[in-house]
Amino acid sequence: MSEAAVLRAAAVQMTSGDDVERNVATAARLVASAAAAGARLVVLPEKWNVIDRDERQVEVAEPVDGPSLAAAAAWARDLGVALVAGSISELVPGEDRAYNTSALILPDGTLAALYRKLHLFDVDVGGRVYRESASARGGDGMLVATALGHRIGLSVCYDLRFPELYRALALAGAEILCVPSAFTAATGKDHWEPLLRARAIENQAFVIAAGQVGVHATGAASHGRSMIVDPWGVVLAQAPDTETAILADLDFDRLRRVRQGLPALEHRRPDVYGDPVPARSA
């Protein structure tokens, strides 16, 4: 296993609430601890900077050049890491709803890519009603971007249930699939791990899933159990039920061996069932 083919990655797990200052400080501490442990790629969870009631979530939305992503860019630059800044509520000028936006930041602090969550979580589960569309609007594109010499496919939380998205990312060259999340406790206990491992296996890619954990200011509870999964579906790291950062070494020689030995992506039959809409590259 050559050193150049290995990338140490981290998934940060948090219990974000309505205190932006506290959330940002916690993220800063956990990103720094991951970098100190050798991580070169760090992924934050969904809405890491604030989780609040629908009406407040719009009020606290920020533009892309706002303070939260500016702080994240400074961490990336100061620590020399690539950072998937989970997601934030992105302010849309003149609109009454925000985008749920994930940002990929390079080690020099440059904003390399923005992905706006496609699938909005409008469901009734665990005795609770969720209507993400009350405060958010869906994006309209899929995105694969390059950082640290590797292709990274971006997604957010509920996107995990739509395998066609991840297949499009894999066909666009994604080797790493990032899933920042606030997966509910009610669904996560049964669905989180099987879905993450399935996305890794079927696309023969690493999956980094950074989750929220515990009870938020809204009263909603997140499952946690953040994971890093390899292309064979093996769970390389899993978080306990606390705020933390987990790490794993991504071995891209192993990824190539998996894809060569079991070339399922090459055995596809798009002549029968077609190809997904292609993902954009950044």
Return the active site residues: 46, 117, 157
Token pair of 27 as six digits: 């993220």
Residue 75's H or E segment, with its range, is helix 67-79
Phi, psi of 207 (to 5 degrees): -120, 125
Contacts of residue 67, defined as CB under 8 A and 6 or more positions apart, other chains included, come to 24
Token pair of 226 as six digits: 């953040």
User: What sign results for the dihedral spanned by CA atoms 118, 124, 128, 133?
Assistant: positive
Q: Taking the C-alpha atoms of 187, 45, 113 and 104 in order, what is their torsion angle to the nearest 10 degrees?
A: -140
Q: Do residues 15 and 30 touch, judged by C-beta distance below 8 A?
A: no
CA separation for the pair 213, 191 (Å, rounded)? 15
DSSP 87-103: -EEE--TT-SSEEEEEE
CA separation for the pair 213, 15 (Å, rounded)? 5
Give the side-chain half-sphere CA count within 13 A for 60.
Answer: 18
CA separation for the pair 200, 65 (Å, rounded)? 33
Residue 10 per-residue DSSP state = E
Q: Quickly tell me which residue has 């969550």 as its tokens.
A: 117
